[in-house]
C-alpha cells in the first residue's frame, strides 16, 4: 500500500491545535489533523489516519508541518497538493506531496525542527500594536536590548536539560534536548524574529525560550544567567510563556528510519549517566 507525505501550512488562529480532539458528550474540536483526514478520506473514499510530525498547540501556525498517510489507491504525488487543498478551508494548504517508504514515520524519523517566533516591541500605545498581522505576530510594550538577547540565545545552543523551560507536568521521560541554533534577528520597524532549531522540543519550550529572551531584553533576566537557569531545572527562574500567535513551525528535516528516535534514546542515556555521577 503506497504511503504519501505532505507538507502542510496553516494559520492556527481558529484551530485547537494539530491533534484531533473529541471531548466526551460534545462535538469534535476544530483541529488541523481532523480537517486534513477528512479531505484525504473524501479523495480516496476510504477511512484513513493522517500522522503528523509535530503536535502544534492551539493558535500556533505552521509553514512546514509534515504528515503522512497510507492509501489503497496510487496517485501521482504532483496532483495531491491541489486535490487536497481544494477540499480544505482557506486557513489550511497542502504545499507539497511525495511518496515515501512504507516504514516512514514523521515522528520517529524527524532529526531536526525549526521554529520562528515573531515579535513587535516598543508598542507603548494601543494604536502601535500589530493590527493586520496580529494573528501571526506577538507584541510587548517595552524597548528590548537585542545584543543582550543575542548573547543569551547563544548559551541555549547545545545539549541541555530544559526542565526549566517547559511546562510543569510535561509527562516526558526526559527533558534533555539539543538546540542546534538560536538567533535573534532585527526585522525592521521594531520587529524581531527568534529562530530556534533543535532535535526536538518539549511542551511550550519554544514559547518559554522566547519569553526568557524577551525578559533578557527587558533587563529582567541577566543575559549571563542562562547556564545557571538551565542547571537549576526550576521553571520559576526562566521567563514567561509567550502567547501562541507569534509562533510558527517553519520546517522539519528527516533522516533514516528511526533516526529521530535514536537521538532521543541517546539523550535519555546521557541524562541518566549524568544523574548517576
Q: Is the same domain home to 57 and 128?
A: no
pTM for this entry: 0.91
Same structural domain, 78 and 115: no
Among the options 14, 57, 101, 145, which is catalytic? 57
Residue-number span of the structural domain to which 86 is assigned: 3-100
DSSP string covering the chain, please?
--EEEEEEEE-GGGSS-SS----TTSPPP--HHHHHHHHHHHHHSS---PEES--PPTT-EEEEEEEEEE-SS---GGGHHHHHHTTS-TTEEEEEEEEE-TT--TTTTEEEEEEEEEEE----SGGGS--TTTTT-EE-SS---HHHHHHHHHTT-EEEE-GGGS-SS---S--EEEEEEEEEEE-SSSEEEEEEEES---TTHHHHHHHHHHHHHTTSS-GGGHHHHHHHT-GGGS-PPPPGGGEEEEEEEE-STTHHHHHHHHHHHHHHHHHH-
pLDDT digits (tens, 9 = 90+) for 119-150: 999 999 999 999 999 999 999 999 999 999 99
Please say if 181 is a catalytic residue.
no
pLDDT at residue 272 above 50? Answer: no
When divided into structural domains, the chain yields a total of 2
pLDDT, residue 170, reads: 60
Residue 51 belongs to a domain with what CATH number?
3.30.70.580
pLDDT in tens, 199-245: 999 999 999 999 999 999 999 999 999 999 999 999 999 999 999 99
Residues 85 and 140 in one domain: no
Picking from 46, 73, 100, the residue at the C-terminal end of a domain is 100
Amino acid at each position: 500500500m503506497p504511503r504519501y507525505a505532505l507538507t502542510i501550512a496553516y494559520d492556527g488562529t481558529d484551530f485547537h491545535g494539530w491533534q484531533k480532539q473529541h471531548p466526551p458528550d460534545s462535538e469534535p474540536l476544530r483541529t488541523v489533523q481532523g480537517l486534513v483526514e477528512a479531505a484525504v478520506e473524501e479523495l480516496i473514499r476510504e477511512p484513513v489516519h493522517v500522522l503528523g510530525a509535530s503536535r502544534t498547540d492551539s493558535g500556533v501556525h505552521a509553514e512546514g508541518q509534515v504528515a503522512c498517510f497510507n492509501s489503497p489507491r496510487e496517485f501521482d504525488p504532483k496532483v495531491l497538493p491541489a486535490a487536497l487543498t481544494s477540499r480544505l478551508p482557506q486557513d489550511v494548504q497542502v504545499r507539497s506531496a511525495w511518496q515515501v517508504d512504507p516504514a516512514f514515520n514523521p515522528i520517529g524519523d524527524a532529526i531536526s525542527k525549526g521554529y520562528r517566533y515573531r515579535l513587535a516591541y516598543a508598542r507603548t500605545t494601543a494604536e502601535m500594536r500589530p493590527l493586520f498581522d496580529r494573528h501571526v505576530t506577538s507584541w510587548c510594550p517595552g524597548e528590548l536590548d537585542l545584543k543582550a538577547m543575542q548573547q543569551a540565545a547563544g548559551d541555549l545552543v547545545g545539549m541541555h536539560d530544559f526542565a526549566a523551560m517547559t511546562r510543569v507536568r510535561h509527562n516526558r521521560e526526559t527533558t534533555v534536548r539539543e538546540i542546534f541554533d538560536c538567533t535573534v534577528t532585527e526585522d525592521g520597524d521594531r520587529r524581531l524574529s527568534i529562530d530556534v532549531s533543535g532535535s526536538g522540543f518539549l511542551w511550550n519550550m519554544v514559547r518559554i525560550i522566547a519569553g526568557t529572551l524577551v525578559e533578557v531584553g527587558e533587563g529582567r533576566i541577566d543575559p549571563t544567567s542562562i547556564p545557571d537557569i538551565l542547571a537549576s531545572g526550576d521553571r520559576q527562574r526562566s521567563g514567561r510563556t509567550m502567547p501562541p500567535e507569534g509562533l510558527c513551525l517553519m520546517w522539519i528535516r528527516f533522516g533514516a528510519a528511526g533516526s529521530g528516535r535514536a537521538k532521543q534514546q541517546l539523550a535519555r542515556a546521557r541524562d541518566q549517566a549524568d544523574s548517576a555521577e
